Amino acid sequence: MCSILLFASKLTRGRVRLPVFCNYRQYSDEKSPIKTPLYELHKKYGGKLVNFAGFLLPVQYVDTSVSASHLFTRQNASIFDVSHMLQTNVSGKDCLPWFESICPVDLKGLANGSSSLTVFLNDNGGIIDDLIVTKVNEQQLYIVSNAGRLEVDKQHMLETSELFKKRGNDVNVSFWDVNDRALLALQGPKAAKLLQTLTDFSLDDLVFMTSREGRVANVGCRVTRCGYTGEDGVELSIPADKAIAVAEALMESSDVKLAGLGARDSLRLEAGLCLYGNDIDETVTPVEANLTWLIAKRRRQESNFPGANIIMKQIKEGVLKRRVGIRLESGPPARKDAILKDPINNKEIGKVTSGCPTPSLGGSIAMGYVSEAFKKVGTNLLVNIRGKDVPCSVAKMPFVPSKYYIKK
């Protein structure tokens, strides 16, 4: 959901330098980065820490390359520290209509305890941020959004909720500080089996995109079956002072390891998932981003979400550009802003927004935006890498099949 892919990191003047395997960007040192509740755990296990979105987070760990960590997650289970994400709690009898006034999600039609990916939209239909909202009940929401948009999201939610309250509505927005609440993502095919040994409820009924409160390693937390890797897994919202204890309880199994931002980014790209600031931003609509499915059926009928006129026109009449997957069988990966060309006339038809080597498949993958006429899977293109035009093709996403837990 926010840009670090790398096979290795080097220390430069006391800082970790992000080399080739990287979509995440480091942030400036204008103010000291915040330590997450897992900071001491990262130091203990040799985490190579960088300033990401104002937080000290591991790119990788000294004993494991990014590619090895990536493959371990696909085969076993990994713990990712995602405590930098903004966790928001909303309450009040009018919290559902308020949230629907800033997002195209159908909360009224969502069952209690269910979660949904959605987007904050501006009046032009541009994406302010992507996020996951959980409908705890009719008067309570739990939201997780991107760290890179933390201040923007806070301001957006506070300003819109205050306007809503001035009209006589009941809605209250509060944010968990990272010093009070941690967020861990346990991802991989063995995640659920391992977690089950530490929980006080059955995970069989906790299907993909559902959420509940429970105990993990005797610690009360919120468990949401979701993630950013394409694998089965959960996100655990935990009291900050208990986060290390829960992580180390999970790590008692040899099938669980810590993983960093590097593996998280390569995993999400293989899963075809967007990175805010690279693949989506305020200049891009959900239709252009190939996320039209986020506009719920009822919301389309009512057309009462921000930018509805523009988005509904795009759904009906089409757009000039579209986000697609891109496959390179060999050679160096295509990076952000690499030019995509029509191989027939060599004219520019788009740009890459994210790209990296793919540990699971070999070769490289990317995503980017192309003119509508070139969006079909299998279309041959050229991508300019280091001044050389390299053959590539439009590919189906996700690049690696998703393995979310859907109960049969």
Number of H helices, E strands in the chain: 9, 22
Residue 178 tokens read as: 């990272």
Q: Please work out, in degrees rounded to the nearest 5, the angle formed at the alpha carbon of residue 88 by the alpha carbons of 154 and 219.
A: 145
Q: What is the DSSP letter of 64?
A: B
The CA distance from 363 to 333, in Å, is 8
The CA distance from 379 to 394, in Å, is 5
The identity of residue 10, as a single letter, is: K
H-helix or E-strand containing 265? helix 261-270
**Residues in the chain, pLDDT under 50:** 2-20
Q: Residue 385: helix, strand or coil by DSSP?
A: strand
- Compute the chain's Rg from CA coordinates: 21
pLDDT for position 330: 86
CA 270 vs CA 52, 103, 163, 209, 261: distances in Å: 21, 27, 40, 20, 14
Max CA pair span of the chain: 64
pLDDT for position 30: 62
pLDDT for position 96: 98
Q: What is the pTM of this model?
A: 0.94
For tokens 């209509």, name the residue: 97
pLDDT for position 10: 35
Residue 277 tokens read as: 């600031």
The CA distance from 327 to 341, in Å, is 14
pLDDT for position 31: 79
235 is in an annotated binding site: yes
First-to-last C-alpha distance (Å) of the chain: 28
Burial, 376: exposed, middle or buried (Cβ in 10 Å; 0-12, 13-18, 19+)? exposed
pLDDT for position 126: 98
pLDDT for position 1: 62
